[in-house]
Homo-oligomer: A and B are copies of this chain.
């Protein structure tokens, strides 16, 4: 994780202060931030960073496979820096909290050929939903 900046440089990324800050914000906390949250945290260190730059940088990180984009709720997309360990997501139906989870087996295996309709199926994104402990008692 800590060598994200190394990997990016090795891939020919031009290293700007803006990109560095965005990458650091993402890897600093293992939570699932929205683009605006990333922008807010980045702006604490680099006050004049533009929203468009954050969007661009996030898009590049996603394209490079360093970050996973989630749209669990039809609202703002969230960015998950935990891209190198395959996992799924558990979302609270009350407060929207998100946890990374690792189900057993390969979710793809549950889809028989007869249900693939000729698609070259390459991945399965699973969103488990339910009330988190805090919301259950509240």
Contact = CB atoms under 8 A, between A and B. Distances in A.
Interface of A: 69, 71-74, 77, 90, 92-93, 99, 101-105, 107-108, 110-112, 115-133, 136
A115 B130 contact: no
Scoring A92, A119, A129, A133 by chain B CB atoms within 10 A of each residue's CB, the highest score goes to: A119
Q: How many copies does the complex hold?
A: 2
A131 B132 CA distance: 35
A130 B126 contact: no
Contact of A122 (B72, B99, B123, B130): B130
A69 B129 CA distance: 14
A69 B73 CA distance: 10
A123 B103 CA distance: 14
Nearest to A132: B119
A125 B126 contact: yes
Contacts of A124: 126-129
Contact of A71 (B74, B110, B118): B74
A17 B110 CA distance: 43
Contact of A115 (B102, B116, B132): B102
Contact of A130 (B71, B120, B130): B120
A68 to B, nearest CB: 13
Contacts of A72: 71
